[in-house]
Every structure is written in structure tokens, then in C-alpha cells.
Amino acid sequence: MYIDVITLFPEMFDAVAKHGITRRALEQHLWSLGVWNPRDFVEDNYRTIDDRPYGGGPGMVMLAEPLNAAIDAALKRQQDAGVAGKVVYLTPQAKPLTDAGVRRLKEESAGLVLLAGRYEGVDERLIEARVDEEVSIGDYVLSGGELPAMVLIDALVRLLPGALNDGESASQDSYSDGLLDWPHYTRPDDWKGRKVPPVLQSGNHAAIEKWRRKQALGRTWLRRPEMIAALTLNKQDLKLLEEFRQEQAQQRQQEQQQQ
């Protein structure tokens, strides 16, 4: 996968190029990163990339032409590799990104050009002319699009075959099947009086899988009920979810009796 980023702060992307899973995948040539600073595409002495908004108001707006030239350069890099890139603008005005959205982006194109805005935003004409899709990572405002771009990169790269040490890790993550992940435990088996559930130490793989499925269903029901409501659960899942609810009710009852 080819990913290019248009940003005023190229050095920020050392976070994904030089660290963690994304670094290892980059070294394995599972993906390619290009970073483009729109200041490099202006000729005035001040390397101007923004100006006051028409109509007045606070802040500055990023100019269309430097961003347009940077997008051209990024797309050419991908075209030279035989990839038809898609331009994505990171903005809080878009619908929040989901796991399904990440997977769709991965499948739709082997090349993405991520536009990271700054200041009050980007000249709307540039968005109309060049942007194929807008993406948000949440209903809140950040100082720029760099962090959202890195979030999207990390989410995409971990889906690439070979990026994770365990080939099943991505398929078992939260949201991969419409559910949150189950609880995880490691050594020691008793930490400050809190013990690992006995089933996880039983060696009974069928029982472990059943417990994990129940916990995933129950955790999603507790924390994200709208996700459960959107699923069509089979009889086995419905039974596991009901068992989880009963266990939760019993636990609350015991806690009330102890108070």
C-alpha cells in the first residue's frame, strides 16, 4: 500500500515511520510512505501557505495552490508505481471513522493521499476539486490533521498481511466482527488479590472460546449497546449473552449484600 501525506509538519510522521508495528511493516515493504510539505511548492520568500478568510473572521485559511501542487506530486509518486491514488481529507466535519470504514479504504485503493489541514481549514475550492473523501476520527477538534492521519495509517497498516506477528490478531481485535474484544490476562495469575478466571488456565480450548465469546458479547452489551442492537445474533450467542446478564445481576446482588 502506498500512503502519502500532505502536511506542514513532516517530522511528526517519524512516529509511524520509526516506531512500532508501522515501522516494522515499512521495513518489510508492506507499505510505502511519502511526506510532502506544501511550503516546498511556493516561490515567495516567506513560503506563504495561508491567508485571511474572505468575509472576515478569526484565523487563517490554507491556500489552494500549494496544496494542489503537493497533491499532484504525491499522486505522481503513486502513479509511477502503477497505483491510482485516492485523496482523503482529515476533518472533524466528516463522519467518524469506523473499523468497517478502515477496511473499506484498504480494499478500495492501494494508494491514499492524506491531506492534513491546519489553522481554520482549507480553501473549500481545493476540497471540491481534489478531495475524494473526507474522514474524521471523532467529534472533536484538534490542532491539525496530522494526528488523525497517523491514526488512520496505523489502523490501515495493521490490516496488511504480515504486519502483525500473529496472523489472527487483526481478525480478533475489537470491532472486527461487530463486537468489542474480550478481557485479556497474563502472569501472575494472582495480582493484588485479583485472580485470572480459572477457565483460562483449564487447557480446555472449547470452554475458553465459549468464555471469550460470552465476554465479548457481554462487554459490548454493557459498553456499546447500540452495536449489539445492530447485530443479528444466533441462538448460541443469545444464550451466552443471557448467561452474561444473569451473572452480572448475581454479581451486583452479592456486592449489595456485602455493603
Q: What are the domain boundaries of the chain?
A: 2-157, 174-258
The fraction of the chain above a pLDDT of 70, given in percent, is 96
Of the candidates 24, 103, 158, 212, the residue annotated as catalytic is: 158
pLDDT exceeds 90 at position 26: yes
Domain 2-157 belongs to what architecture? 3-Layer(aba) Sandwich (3.40)
Of the candidates 173, 181, 237, 243, the residue annotated as catalytic is: 173
Average pLDDT over residues 172-196: 86
The reported pLDDT for the residue numbered 43 is 85
* Reported pTM: 0.87
Q: pLDDT band at residue 166, thresholds of 50, 70 and 90? A: low
Fold that domain 174-258 belongs to in CATH: Trp Operon Repressor; Chain A (1.10.1270)
In 73-166 the beta strands, taken as DSSP E runs, fall at 86-90, 111-116, 133-135
The reported pLDDT for the residue numbered 168 is 52
Length of the chain: 259
| Closest alpha carbon to 222 in 195, 196, 183, 258 | 183
Contact indicator for 23, 17 with CB cutoff of 8 Å:
yes
For 100-141, the pLDDT digits (tens) are 999 999 999 999 999 999 988 999 999 999 999 999 999 999
Of the candidates 99, 120, 154, 181, the residue annotated as catalytic is: 120
Specify whether 120 is catalytic.
yes
For 32-75, the pLDDT digits (tens) are 999 999 999 998 888 899 999 999 999 999 999 999 999 999 99
Specify whether 173 is catalytic.
yes
Q: pLDDT band at residue 171, thresholds of 50, 70 and 90? A: low
Average pLDDT over residues 203-218: 97
Of the candidates 10, 53, 92, 183, the residue annotated as catalytic is: 92
